[in-house]
Structure 1
């Protein structure tokens, strides 16, 4: 098997005047779980559909395990596909839904039974074989859909926002389950999502798309801590502009005087201290969001601190505090409007 299970080279796709894919080069390593992440209209679903064969790129090529599939129909690409909506056969039992692809391929009955029973065990639906889709919860129906996609032993598994129609708690549970499932079956998987937490939680690699282009590909840690540009940084989590410097709110320390303690791992570049006024304090469970206004330029920004720190500081709206960025992600080009340096304290 090739090192990269999927390779997309020079893919372009336009719908009238709208550019859905703009000269996209993209690879998916064998056995990885890669998330395509981006806002609506970024091209992530178009790229997934092109890999699946549901959309054909205007130009460019797509290979799966070294085989050029650019002009090959979906059913001959060796893929499993799971949509946001379950597309279950309502008149068929769970067992028959999962077995459908195997029956179409005329596999022996004994082989089908063994494969289906094993998969239902893997996805946590053992004992549900004889139920019908309307007797399952949303999360159970999506597990059934994943079992059906895996039944035909696909070369790659493509997931198009599979948990988007579920409520937050079920979605959180299922993405944890999906990661465990992937570690069990090891099938090369591409997941489309607009949920940053989902991508960071389950993926080995994240490709961030914007306006039909791939802005950055890397591990969750790489794209979060070393964003290629301001768009990637902003899309991978909340950001604050502290006097023209982009920082994460949780990387802003809040203190009652300019001589606040400096952590051992603080960099010299992030040692600047700024005076600010607290506008609002919002308790978010174990964290506290502090909304502030900079005394340097009058611009609003946000810091995220622990509840324990907030209580120790006894913060209140209207207080004057001092803040400093403990970490400033390196961003190439002119994304940072000012270098990370000490900021003079206003009087």
Structure 2
């Protein structure tokens, strides 16, 4: 089921939460709304859900204008960061709740709940109460409860934001697998670039109430329309005036060692720098540097293997060169 938002505006006093926002969300895809705090991503999601009323603009779901309809009339499943579980109900009864209030036959409820318990991997925990589950398990229960009523659209507002990094990583993989199974049109709000890149079919980057760019993750990462998108969808630094990603910087102890590149026609110049700090980050190593001529600080990201070969140390002089620069799209 596709979603279109046309000319959406929402103000809170002098603050423009949404400023003439228009976006098309394709049927069956997982689209992430990505941006910093205050960018308008949650307001846009709540407007799609009918939880916030727009000052002006239109929300269309499956070809129907739902701008004046209540959330209950929009056939939407909603999962918040803080899962509003019924503490006195078991996992099974939490998932069944929406079906029971719709007075579905008992056999149909049981079959649907059994199916969802299997999908989200909570069958063995179905008789437990929410307080007896981990944070990740509670969030999977919340997703199963949202899916139980067969929503045409699933809206997720920072669903993993309250969880630790490892659990978030596991749940991202699980969400992607789940989406490939159920194929429900899904909109995910996140401020986590890694999360958006990991799970999304498409990403919309928001800033100050406006959409900066919409596209496939690779397109936004490789062909951002402006420096904001480039810097928000991954680390960037300035090298000889060019916007560069840290992993696209080559380091050598001589200018010649820094020169080789996959693109020999790219000539951004070699910069002489001093190593200020070397930080090993698992597979990768971050090399913090200071340009000798300008005193400007920047960082390069190299593999642990390259660092083992170079054995860079704080205080020594090296040479850095960009092997690729940000190419801004005109779309």
1: distance between equivalents of 2:264 and 2:72? 54
2: distance between equivalents of 1:110 and 1:306? 56
Q: Is the 8 A contact 1:120 1:126 kept in 2?
A: yes
Q: Is the 8 A contact 2:273 2:317 kept in 1?
A: yes
Is 1:148 matched up with 2:145?
yes
Which consecutive unaligned segments of at least 5 residues does structure 2 have? none
Is 1:166 matched up with 2:163?
yes
Residue matched to 1:27: 24
Secondary structure of 1:289's aligned partner = strand
Cα deviation digits, residues 102-151 of structure 1 (max 9, x gap): 11111111001000100110000112222111111111111010000000
Residue matched to 2:234: 237
2: distance between equivalents of 1:299 and 1:189? 43
Residue matched to 2:284: 287
Give the C-alpha shift of residue 49 in structure 1.
Answer: 0.2
Counterparts in 2 of 1:44 and 1:267: CA distance versus 1, 3 Å? farther
Residue matched to 1:50: 47
Question: Which of 2, 15, 20 in structure 2 is aligned with 1:18?
Answer: 15
Secondary structure of 1:268's aligned partner = coil
Question: Which of 109, 133, 136 in structure 2 is aligned with 1:112?
Answer: 109
What root-mean-square deviation, in Å, do the aligned CA atoms of Structure 1 and Structure 2 show? 1.4
1: distance between equivalents of 2:87 and 2:267? 58
Cα deviation digits, residues 167-207 of structure 1 (max 9, x gap): 11111111110000001111010000011111111111111
Question: Which of 85, 88, 99 in structure 2 is aligned with 1:88?
Answer: 85
Residue matched to 1:278: 275
Give the C-alpha shift of residue 243 in structure 1.
Answer: 2.1
Give the C-alpha shift of residue 259 in structure 1.
Answer: 1.2
Residue matched to 1:131: 128
1: distance between equivalents of 2:287 and 2:241? 18
2: distance between equivalents of 1:300 and 1:141? 43
Secondary structure of 1:35's aligned partner = strand
- What is the number of equivalent residue pairs in this alignment? 330
Give the C-alpha shift of residue 263 in structure 1.
Answer: 5.1
Is 1:328 matched up with 2:303?
no
2: distance between equivalents of 1:332 and 1:217? 12
Residue matched to 1:73: 70
Give the C-alpha shift of residue 296 in structure 1.
Answer: 3.7
2: distance between equivalents of 1:130 and 1:302? 51
2: distance between equivalents of 1:210 and 1:56? 20
Secondary structure of 2:111's aligned partner = helix
Q: Is the 8 A contact 1:270 1:327 kept in 2?
A: no
2: distance between equivalents of 1:296 and 1:60? 52
